[in-house]
Chains A and B, each alone.
Chain A
């Protein structure tokens, strides 16, 4: 058996053993409810939650009181978008977002559209970045919220966040960013970047699944958010429910470790990622990098291998875990809507593979990957009718003539 190589860190990351160590006591003897104010078990739990709040806030240059615990970025996005919509609906009913957002942003926006809100969806450029002039002209009298992700999960493209924040501040519109993929990978400063609400998640930063946070600024302006879950009034009334103490402790320590190691990790991982792209380009013709080569997360590489389909590629190197934008991998049989929004054709979306590296990958694994992926591409091209047609001088387009 070949060793297993995990290059799907944008889907989820392994738990850092240091994070697990920090969490364990909160599954065992420190089992208290952080809301129990009258005994030691409660105080213990509350203290741990407070420390985690400091740890996450430190990563964002936010105040500890601005951190709301959630079950993950999906919930954070829902609270941010639907909560702001509910709270500010008398001020306006217009929200701006963009086409390559995660479904956890797009779907709440679509939900609001069915409930009397107007949603503008900006189209990013070929690299996945939004156009600031388009954003500026989309902001109207009744705009209450702009929701633009920090970095994209499929292609890694980083948006011009400070510029968007500045623009929104200038126009008095709230700015939410889904920072799930950026949190722990690039420096974030909600104050300097003009971010009013920020979503993040534990399991993308070597922390546990099922825990996340929403940063809700308390100044310039003080942001208010109606709850999505109604109940005991925890988390400043924005998110009721007994706190997931072990998860929160895990997210806190995952943030702390990321804060200390982020700069070194980014350099090392970018080097591995660049080597991967270099090795693949040397060994394979007609491969294309999707997204952006400069404003991009250090760990993400999205490549289309012309003439071969993504799911079959993944099957060919089954001991390497990656993702694909191929229609075959989705239940809807639609290719990636993110790649489509960039103007990548369906054929190339069908042929796309996302490699997302992480803290625990080694140079040796990258060499293995280059070799195995290239061998699979060659093998599958030999059995690809599209490759054959291309070699005979017909383009991909002409093959459509043969389709029913």
Chain B
């Protein structure tokens, strides 16, 4: 089956490949795997004080559709707030990339990766808020 032009474009010119420092308090990291086929996707976001995503990076082990889905995901979430990013649905990715039914799980993985990265940043923020209130009450 031939790939759509958009899948080919993202595969041949992937946007935002790379890594962010996972220990940075403003960086959230999500690593998800597809139990169906063994693909693995890692997506990272960096947020500013207003919880706006200022940078996003990914690395993916998987087929061209999985790579394209994660590349597109990073492109879409950049500039959005985390709450806006959470509104992205895998079906949006399917439509944009014209993914065939057997490749829908690739888009699900990308949605999961966004969520996992956001969850990670939220956990970091809660932890640091707790640490802050903890140190306040101590003083």
Interface residues of A (CB under 8 A from B): 307-309, 311-312, 315-316, 326-329, 331, 333, 335, 346-347, 350, 382-388, 399-400, 402-404
Cβ A335 vs Cβ B11 within 8 A: no
Cβ B17 vs Cβ A382 within 8 A: yes
Complex Cα gap A312–B62 (Å): 7
Residues 1-20 of B, flagged 1 when their CB comes within 8 A of A and 0 if not, give 00100001001001001010
Say yes or no: is B41 at the interface (Cβ < 8 Å to chain A): yes
Complex Cα gap A329–B59 (Å): 20
Cβ A385 vs Cβ B61 within 8 A: yes
Complex Cα gap A308–B40 (Å): 10
Other-chain residue from B8, B11, B40, B67 in contact with A403 (beta carbon distance below 8 A): B40
Residues of A within 8 A of B8 (CB): 315
Q: Is the interface of B mostly helix, strand, loop or mixed?
A: mixed
- Tally of B interface residues using CB under 8 Å: 29
Shortest Cβ gap from A18 to chain B (Å): 32
Say yes or no: is B35 at the interface (Cβ < 8 Å to chain A): yes
Say yes or no: is B131 at the interface (Cβ < 8 Å to chain A): no
Interface residues of B (CB under 8 A from A): 3, 8, 11, 14, 17, 19, 31-33, 35-42, 58-64, 66-67, 102, 105, 112
Q: With A383-B14, A388-B19, A404-B33 as given contacts, are A350 and B60 in contact (CB-CB < 8 Å)?
A: no
User: Besides A333-B37, A350-B38, 12 other CB < 8 A contacts?
Assistant: A309-B63, A328-B63, A383-B58, A383-B59, A383-B60, A384-B59, A384-B60, A385-B31, A385-B42, A387-B61, A388-B42, A404-B112
Cβ B67 vs Cβ A312 within 8 A: yes
Q: With A402-B31, A404-B32 as given contacts, are A388 and B62 in contact (CB-CB < 8 Å)?
A: no
Residues of B within 8 A of A309 (CB): 39, 61-63, 66
Complex Cα gap A35–B17 (Å): 66
Residues of B within 8 A of A333 (CB): 36-37, 102, 105
7 A-B interface contacts by CB (under 8 A): A309-B39, A309-B66, A385-B60, A388-B42, A402-B32, A402-B40, A403-B35
Q: With A311-B64, A402-B31, A404-B35 as given contacts, are A385 and B112 in contact (CB-CB < 8 Å)?
A: no
Complex Cα gap A399–B40 (Å): 9
Q: With A312-B67, A333-B102, A403-B40 as given contacts, are A384 and B35 in contact (CB-CB < 8 Å)?
A: no
Residues of B within 8 A of A350 (CB): 37-38
Shortest Cβ gap from A12 to chain B (Å): 18
Complex Cα gap A118–B63 (Å): 39
Cβ B112 vs Cβ A312 within 8 A: no
Chain B's closest residue to A404 (CB) is B32
Number of A-B contacts (CB under 8 A): 80
Residues of B within 8 A of A331 (CB): 102
Complex Cα gap A311–B112 (Å): 22
Shortest Cβ gap from B102 to chain A (Å): 6
Shortest Cβ gap from A99 to chain B (Å): 20
Complex Cα gap A385–B42 (Å): 6
Complex Cα gap A335–B60 (Å): 18
Complex Cα gap A260–B8 (Å): 44
Q: With A385-B42, A386-B40 as given contacts, are A312 and B64 in contact (CB-CB < 8 Å)?
A: yes
Other-chain residue from A316, A327, A382, A384 in contact with B37 (beta carbon distance below 8 A): A327
Residues of A within 8 A of B64 (CB): 311-312, 315
Residues of A within 8 A of B37 (CB): 327-328, 333, 350
Shortest Cβ gap from B37 to chain A (Å): 4
Other-chain residue from B60, B63, B102, B112 in contact with A326 (beta carbon distance below 8 A): B63
Complex Cα gap A400–B61 (Å): 13
Cβ A328 vs Cβ B62 within 8 A: yes
Residues of A within 8 A of B3 (CB): 315
Shortest Cβ gap from B21 to chain A (Å): 13
Q: With A309-B39, A312-B67, A388-B19 as given contacts, are A403 and B32 in contact (CB-CB < 8 Å)?
A: yes
Chain A's closest residue to B43 (CB) is A385
Chain B's closest residue to A307 (CB) is B61
Cβ B63 vs Cβ A312 within 8 A: yes
Complex Cα gap A350–B35 (Å): 13
Shortest Cβ gap from B137 to chain A (Å): 35
Residues of B within 8 A of A387 (CB): 61
Shortest Cβ gap from B122 to chain A (Å): 18
Cβ A388 vs Cβ B59 within 8 A: yes
Chain A's closest residue to B38 (CB) is A350
Chain B's closest residue to A399 (CB) is B40
Shortest Cβ gap from B92 to chain A (Å): 21
Residues of A within 8 A of B17 (CB): 382-383
Shortest Cβ gap from B107 to chain A (Å): 14
Shortest Cβ gap from A381 to chain B (Å): 9
